[in-house]
Structure 1
């Protein structure tokens, strides 16, 4: 697939020249260049032997999108993450400053995207390095919260088979993860997603067959269905899935369930929900390795890997508007899906965030997460995290 990525980058540059020459009379079909900056301060305080961590990092992203030529177009994008002003007292996950708590933003410069796209009528196809997100990012996402976002070397086909039916299929050859290229993984992943719109909401069925292609026998197969909709001021969501893992040393099956309901008042939106990542005999927990995990189960990232006893997350959130910005406060209560004599109460967490856009091209935010370890969460400790950031897009 690396050859495919290089071919894609070369092809899209050729296409851009052809498109600009052929379509200059069409003002809606023009090549575009954009830049995106995110300057962020992050601090971590944990009740363990690790030193308190702090990081000031700048993520820069340069994107070129060609005009289209006979349905073909392309994207090439570079991404860079740098430590700023010497504020780099943190474990960056790639072997530096391991005496500090983890902040998963290593320094890196890499090719973020390079793909050729063909779009005609109901069909869209992409080949090359690309961002792929499906539904709510629970299984497949870009992990855009981190400075080095996740992309995939892949072939993707999207087809609007019927008026209300959309089919998406991707074959992934490489997972370009958030830890710079040193921890990227070759894979043989198949992602199939079917979405059907009804008058009550969207019904989605999916099959995600994952395999890390690193010389060992392994497989993680997930099948599920979800339904999401909104009626007047009410919103609702439900999902169930099953998962089976087979490898040289493991063989387990487990399940997933989620339900959420919301109500919007004039100034506030309230949501209540439950998410259950099941366990097989308290030995293996339900896993979603391609997800935007920061979005789920609390922002302090205590449960990026599901405990082998599984995880039950009961949560409530309140959100609204203030001073031309948006705010949210959320509370999580965690427990084991299959409790044991030593593991049951997995703690609580409170999250709060405020974001605001200003001067057309800028945004800023402040975010806080406080996790309180449960009585039986042996590998968890009280954790506080705070973020301050400002972004700019042109």
Structure 2
């Protein structure tokens, strides 16, 4: 009953919030060469977690606000942005690890990693001409599909990087190179040493458009100084290719494939080398997409491939049972069906999707479990509304049955 009442209150708050946020603003042109672009964004979310086998559940109603501005003079810009998260209902454990003295570490509840937090989210200087240039400072970095490097924007506190990034394009060729000295985690200022991880982090990404195919090569060299992250010091080299092929005026096929090789590097105490493989595809007809794929995160010598800088919620099920790859590795076979309801004019962007996952180990022939994911999304004015559900069923004691439900409203000006 308590969960139902909390969900009802959250739904009411979301409905009331939507009309209030439905305002838009653009850059203020101070002169021909100088402009100010205000940043105002918010996300109000209810999240429910049920882990009956562990005797745990959680209810969280959180509100994230970001505010700042980008000042631009010709090709030079300075951006400053603060971020704050408020827990309106805090019946949840914000930290999946010990944090001495923190009132947000609540062991009687399931984990919802959205701690209350106020922080400087971004502070950067950039010089760019037609997208080519350099950005320095605390910044958001999303590379490709965010499988290796991302901002984890699903969670309320964003992951950013203290870094220098260079981007360039020459005809069909794109180049992207970053040196970062700090990973600012999603756990925020109350997370003790896990607020940020320092090191020497290098992201190299190059691509070319060859007809309908986009080909990318990448190298991620992670040399962490922090003792908590030494096991994630790795070097990863890989290739990614994607394409969308129109078969008829109403039918198109999308295909994506990727391969990478990861091994220990620098101060990593382990000795291993593993493969990453992705094969994904789908067919879209009149708004209906049928798709599926297979992803492998390999295992070797008792260690598995890890992607500690990724937007992990996008991969291997939205219940987030595999944020850290098990030592025996992971194979994720999945199928999906989605539909875009373009004919419903009253709800712009109305879409829905269902995904099924089968999770197994890479070595040892272990069946971890299965998971169903579903979501529906649409817009009310300028506010995006999302309802999402995840149901994971464990096949052995290595994981636990988990259900999650989300209802959220998000706006950005």
For the criterion TM > 0.5, the same-fold answer is: yes
- In the TM superposition, residue 217 of structure 1 has moved relative to its aligned partner by 6.2
Cα distance between partner residues in 2 of 1:37 and 1:168 = 29
Pairing 1:172–2:172 present: no
**One of 83, 89, 92 as aligned partner of 1:90:** 92
2:230–2:269 CA contact under 8 A, matched in 1: no
Partner of 1:60, secondary structure, is strand
2:124 corresponding residue in structure 1? 115
In structure 2, how many angstroms separate the alpha carbons of the residues matched to 1:311 and 1:175? 25
Select which of 205, 229, 240 maps to 2:217. 205
CA contact (8 A) 2:158 2:185 kept: yes
Report the counterpart of residue 32 of structure 2 in structure 1. Answer: 25
Q: Residues 172-211 of structure 1, C-alpha deviation per residue, up to 9 Å, x if partnerless?
A: 1110111113321112100000011110211000000001
Q: How far is 1:332 from its partner?
A: 0.4
Give me the whole-angstrom Cα distance separating, in 1, the residues matched to 2:76 and 2:109.
48
Distance 1:51 1:248 in 2: 34
Summarize deviations over 1:197-228 as a string: whole Å, max 9, x none. Answer: 11021100000000112268663000000100
> Residue 333 of structure 2 aligns with which residue?
314
CA contact (8 A) 1:50 1:101 kept: no
Matched residue of 2:113: which SS?
Answer: coil
Q: 1:187 aligned to 2:199?
A: yes
| Length-normalised TM-score, structure 1 | 0.88
Other-structure match for 1:332: 357
- TM-score normalised by length of structure 2: 0.84
Aligned-residue CA RMSD (Å): 1.8
Shift of 1:240: 0.3
Q: Structure 1's 255 and 357: CA in aligned 2 closer, same or farther, altered over 3 A?
A: same
Tell whether 2:265 aligns with 1:223.
no
Query: Would you say 1:36 and 2:41 are equivalent positions?
Result: yes
Match of 2:371 in 1: 349
Partner of 1:48, secondary structure, is: helix
Match of 1:278 in 2: 298
CA distance in 1, matches of 2:309, 2:39: 27
**5+ unaligned residues in a row in structure 2: which ranges?**
1-27, 247-251
1:52 is the counterpart of 2:52? no
- Counterparts of 2:230 and 2:331 in 1: how far apart (Å)? 30
How many residues of Structure 1 are paired with residues of Structure 2 in the alignment? 362
CA–CA distance in 1 between the matches of 2:69 and 2:282?
Answer: 39
The 1-side partners of 2:187 and 2:66 are apart by 16
1:121 is displaced (CA, Å) by 5.1
> What pairs with 1:61-80 in structure 2 (closer than 5 Å)?
61-69=66-74, 71-80=75-84
Q: Distance in 1 between matches of 2:131 and 2:57?
A: 52
Secondary structure of 2:283 counterpart? strand
- Which residue number corresponds to residue 115 of structure 2? 106
Contact 2:159 2:183 in 1 (8 A): yes
| Equivalent residue number for residue 389 of structure 2 | 368
Gaps of 5+ in 1: 1-19
